[in-house]
Amino acid sequence: MSITVIYGSRGCEMVRTVLAHRRFEKTIDPSMSFGIKPNLVLAKPSHSGATTDPAVVEGIITFLKDHGCHNIAIMEGSWLGDSTARAFRICGYEELARRYQVELIDLKKDNTVTVSAGGLRLEICRSPLAVDCLINVPVLKAHCQTRLTCALKNLKGCIPDREKRRYHALGLHRPIAALSRALPQHLVVVDGIIGDLTFEEGGTPVHMHRVIVGNDPVAVDSYCASLLGLAPGDVPYISLAEELGVGCTQCEVTELNEGSQSKFSPSTTADALRLHFTEKEACSACVGSLMHALYRLRQAGSTPPSGIFIGQGFRGQEGSGIGIGSCTRGFTHHVPGCPPSAKAILDAFAEILPPIV
Ligand code: SF4
């Protein structure tokens, strides 16, 4: 298995060059259906570091069309509490779909199929399972719970919201690995042009100027983890996916041009913010809101209140601290919402915290 890396910032041209170099056209034919799965976790443009640059997807679409393939759909289901339709619009995908006459599929509205993989029963959206070729287009980013989000974790957008909650209750890594076994991805095109090494939801973008392409999501994630100074063992779902036969962590890397081959360090900001709360089976969207609220508080020079609790593991429990999200409604102070917004959390903190003098 090989990985191809190209350096630059013009996503469309870079992707077309890599696909031609890899002779991708030899593996496709016009009778096939294609699903393109970007990372549109929420409605923020790609320069925020959160979402896939539409120019990268444009490179894939134009390459497919140049080779007579027109049955193409872009499919995504944003994270809990966010609207995929809004993400399609804000992130430039409505305009892209209109320009190239491709379908947009909101996976939050899709039918589902239940399958068994990796010892788990998993509910998966029907559309990505039904295409002949699923092209996964993640963003290279850090993640507050799994440290890395890239090819394997990006498939979490192909499951309904109730399953997203359940994955967190199952500890995330095992179901992510099992999902990659149940839902084959045929090509991975990583948008490493702008990512975020602090927050999955963007806001602290880092320019990395590269696109990384491979057929094996385990190899791609293993390579991308190494770019962030992480070993496959630091991101357990990579090794678990390898054990399930999804791919192999060892691979050959070809660079098509010269670029800054520098590695990147995940920010320590998220680790420092995590010290302020206790988490049990929390969803990423909920933790993301809390992290942003804590980050804003720190920027304002204020110290967060002590005794913050978050996650599905606190459902039905009572406590004397501050509960974040509807799962913690039994706590003395409780911020409602599933997930609550960062603003709602900040407003609640403002009522509890003494004013800054
Ligand atoms: S309140 Fe938060 S942790 Fe609980 S289910 Fe909703 S998003 Fe998940």
Ligand 1 midpoint to CA 117 (Å) = 25
Query: What integer pLDDT is reported at residue 272 of this predicted model?
Result: 87
What is the Å distance from ligand 1's center to 153 Cα?
19
Residue spans of beta strands (DSSP E) within the chain = 2-7, 34-38, 72-76, 103-106, 112-117, 120-125, 133-137, 141-143, 147-149, 187-196, 205-214, 252-255, 277-279, 308-310, 319-324, 331-335
The string over 188-214, giving b where at least 16 C-beta atoms fall within 10 Å of a residue's C-beta and e elsewhere, is: bbbbbbbbbbbbbbbbbbbebebbbbb
Burial-class residue 24 by CB neighbours within 10 Å (0-12, 13-18, 19+): buried
Within a 13 Å sphere around the CA of 139, how many CA atoms are in the beta-carbon half? 34
pLDDT of res. 357? 42
Gap from CA of 323 to ligand 1 centroid (Å): 11
Question: 8 pLDDT band (50/70/90 cuts)?
Answer: very high
Q: What is the pLDDT of residue 138?
A: 98
Ligand 1 proximity of 335 Cβ (cutoff 6 Å): no
CB of 166 sitting under 6 A from ligand 1: no
What is the distance in A from the centroid of ligand 1 to the CA of 285?
8
Strand order in the sheet with 277-279: 277-279, 308-310, 319-324, 331-335
pLDDT interval class at 356 (50, 70, 90): very low
**Coil, helix or strand for 255?**
strand
pLDDT score at 262: 66
Mutate to test the pocket of ligand 1, among 283, 328, 335 (most ligand atoms within 8 A of CB): 283
Amino acid at residue number 90:
I
Ligand 1 pocket, 288 CB below 6 A? no
Mutate to test the pocket of ligand 1, among 279, 284, 286 (most ligand atoms within 8 A of CB): 286
pTM of the model: 0.90
Q: Calculate how far, in angstroms, residue 325's C-alpha sits from the geometric centre of ligand 1.
A: 6
Mutate to test the pocket of ligand 1, among 79, 145, 278, 312 (most ligand atoms within 8 A of CB): 312
Helices (H), ranges, 22-107: 54-66, 84-90, 93-100
Mutate to test the pocket of ligand 1, among 327, 329, 331, 334 (most ligand atoms within 8 A of CB): 327
Tokens, residue 226? 């190494």
Per DSSP, 282 falls in state -
Q: Which domains does the chain have, with CATH numbers?
A: 2-255 (3.40.50.11440), 269-352 (no CATH)
Nearest to 125, CA basis, from 154, 93, 90, 157: 157
144 Cβ inside 6 Å of ligand 1 = no
Rounded to the nearest 10°, the torsion over CA 197, 201, 203, 207 is 40
Phi, psi of 127 (to 5 degrees): -60, -50
Q: Is 165 in the pocket of ligand 1 (CB under 6 A)?
A: yes
| Residue 350: predicted pLDDT | 87
Alpha carbon 281 to its chain's center: 18
Nearest to 280 by CA among 243, 239, 321: 321
User: Is residue 340 within 6 Å of ligand 1 at its C-beta?
Assistant: no
Nearest to 63 by CA among 5, 24, 102: 24
- pLDDT tens-digit map of 280-326: 999 988 998 999 899 889 888 888 888 999 999 999 999 889 999 99
Residue 1 clears pLDDT 90, i.e. is over it: no
| pLDDT tens, residue by residue, 147-157 | 899 999 999 99
Return d(Cα 289, Cα 293) in angstroms, integer.
6
Among protein residues, the one whose CA lies closest to atom 7 of ligand 1: 339
Q: How far is the CA of 352 from the centre of ligand 1 (A)?
A: 22
CA distance linking residue 203 with residue 197, whole number of Å? 10
Q: Is the CB of 97 under 6 A from ligand 1?
A: no
